Amino acid sequence: MAGIKAVILSAGKGTRWLPLTLTHQKTVYKVGPFSILEHNLNEINGLVKEAIIVVKYNKEEVVSLLGNEYKGIKIKYVLQKKFLGTGDAAKSALPFLKGRFILFNGDDLYDKDDIKRCIKKFPCVLVSKLKNPSLYGQIVVKGKEIGNIAEKPKKIISNLVNTGFYFLDKSIFNYKIKKSERGEFEFTDYLKKFIAKNKLYFYISKKWLPVSNAWDLLEAGKFFLKNAKPFCYGKIEKPILKQGKLLFGKNSIIKAGNIIKGPVYIGDNVVVENNCRLENGVILGNNSLVGKGSIIKNSIVGCSSKIGKGSYIVNSIIAPNCSLAENVKVLSSNSENRQGVILADFSRVAKNVKFYSGTRVWPGKSIASGKVVRSDIN
């Protein structure tokens, strides 16, 4: 199967990811050591020799990240000229296709075992079984085949949803489709035309994770931590309390008196000062710093960001290059379903600031000392 090509959709603006996508293409946002795009390329490594990446918004960031090759996979880029939907984006790769190909969304997380099983059937769609399928395109099956595809129907017709991963032939683009009600060409309209005259098989995913909005990055972090193997290259000063899985990068230090309850990822050149507490899915990017006595739970701290001493960060996403002074608090419960705060790149937060649950801060904003943030700062 190594002769097939991959088409990866990485063109969209990511409006549901705001404010993070004001400075980043969503597919290159890092969760741990890898961006979502790199994760997916790792999962198809050995299965394809060439990946065609459809780009538009912040395309330079994608090209800078990957170049012309990624771990032996040849990388080509094709520009989607206008934002006209997934059908248009996918078809823009047609000049590079010779026959069978895989196609998938660049901002969801896929698993190699799922992909291997999906491409054993042809043609095939990777589907997933969800308790609440209302936010997704739904798939009705008849035996081993797909009988109907509905894009986010008002009434639930199936608990099987479309993951956006397909194994098809380039002839799928021979069908003529029209713009949908929202003025876009939907790739699923190609599939509807196809199944009217052809068999289309499916495989039910075991590990697909949709990353539909910025808050879903916290689930993406857990996805990464669950599947990663522990390692320890940094320095740990004793005494500390360590439980669970720890992924600990080079030239990093955990100072004495800390409590680490994994899974926790700490990148390279990170400093965790004395008497901190990290637990329940914390990810600290390269060159970050956690000040003395701070508590971080179920949160992502981006590269080169600084958390001041005595801070309390929970259920939050701190983008790269942010600076938080001492005693910054996120007023969110410990519930994993509660939202904390999202701070976009280069946010500056003075001491004693408090954030209410679900608030967001746009890139480069500064927040004065003692302020209580109850709504978005944009």
Instruction: Show the domains of the chain with their CATH numbers.
Output: 5-223 (3.90.550.10), 229-373 (2.160.10.10)
Q: What is the mean pLDDT of residues 187-202?
A: 94
Confidence at residue 153, expressed as pLDDT on a 0 to 100 scale: 74
Confidence at residue 183, expressed as pLDDT on a 0 to 100 scale: 86
pLDDT confidence tier of residue 2, bands split at 50, 70 and 90? low
Confidence at residue 344, expressed as pLDDT on a 0 to 100 scale: 97
3-state secondary structure of 224: helix
Q: What is the mean pLDDT of residues 35-57?
A: 95
Q: What is the mean pLDDT of residues 79-85?
A: 92
Question: Is the pLDDT reported for residue 371 higher than 60?
Answer: yes
Q: Which residues contact 2 (CB under 8 A, 6 or more apart)?
A: 46, 47, 48, 49
What is the C-alpha separation between 318 and 346, in angstroms, rounded?
10
Residue with tokens 């003395």: 292
Confidence at residue 337, expressed as pLDDT on a 0 to 100 scale: 53
Phi-psi region of 346 (alpha: psi -120 to 50; beta: other; left: phi over 0): left
DSSP H stretches of helix in 266-326: none
Q: What percent of the chain has pLDDT over 90?
A: 85
Confidence at residue 338, expressed as pLDDT on a 0 to 100 scale: 76
pLDDT confidence tier of residue 247, bands split at 50, 70 and 90? very high
Question: Is the pLDDT reported for residue 227 higher than 90?
Answer: no
Per-residue H/E/C for 111-180: CHHHHHHHCCCCCEEEEEECCCCCCCCEEEEECCEEEEEECCCCCCCCCEEEEEEEEEEHHHHHCCCCCC
Confidence at residue 192, expressed as pLDDT on a 0 to 100 scale: 93
Confidence at residue 181, expressed as pLDDT on a 0 to 100 scale: 84
Question: Is the pLDDT reported for residue 204 higher than 60?
Answer: yes
Query: Which of 46, 36, 40 is closest to 7 using CA atoms?
Result: 40
Q: What is the mean pLDDT of residues 321-332?
A: 94
Residues 152-183 have pLDDT tens digits of 777 888 889 999 999 999 999 999 999 888 88
Question: Is the pLDDT reported for residue 336 higher than 70?
Answer: no
Q: What is the mean pLDDT of residues 20-24?
A: 94
Q: What is the mean pLDDT of residues 54-67?
A: 95
Confidence at residue 154, expressed as pLDDT on a 0 to 100 scale: 79
Confidence at residue 90, expressed as pLDDT on a 0 to 100 scale: 96
Confidence at residue 69, expressed as pLDDT on a 0 to 100 scale: 96
CB hemisphere CA count around 372 (13 angstroms):
3
pTM: 0.92
Mean of per-residue pLDDT scores for the chain? 93
Q: What is the mean pLDDT of residues 109-133?
A: 94
Amino acid symbol at 239: P
Query: Which of 73, 81, 82, 83 is closest to 7 using CA atoms?
Result: 73
Confidence at residue 157, expressed as pLDDT on a 0 to 100 scale: 85
Confidence at residue 42, expressed as pLDDT on a 0 to 100 scale: 95
Q: What percent of the chain has pLDDT over 70?
A: 98
Q: What is the mean pLDDT of residues 235-253?
A: 95
Tokens at 370, concatenated: 């003692």
Q: What is the mean pLDDT of residues 348-366?
A: 97
**Please, what's the b/e burial string for 321-338 (b: 16 or more CB within 10 A of its CB; e: otherwise)?**
bbbbbbbbbbbbeeeeee
Question: Is the pLDDT reported for residue 246 higher than 70?
Answer: yes
Question: Is the pLDDT reported for residue 335 higher than 60?
Answer: no
Confidence at residue 334, expressed as pLDDT on a 0 to 100 scale: 52
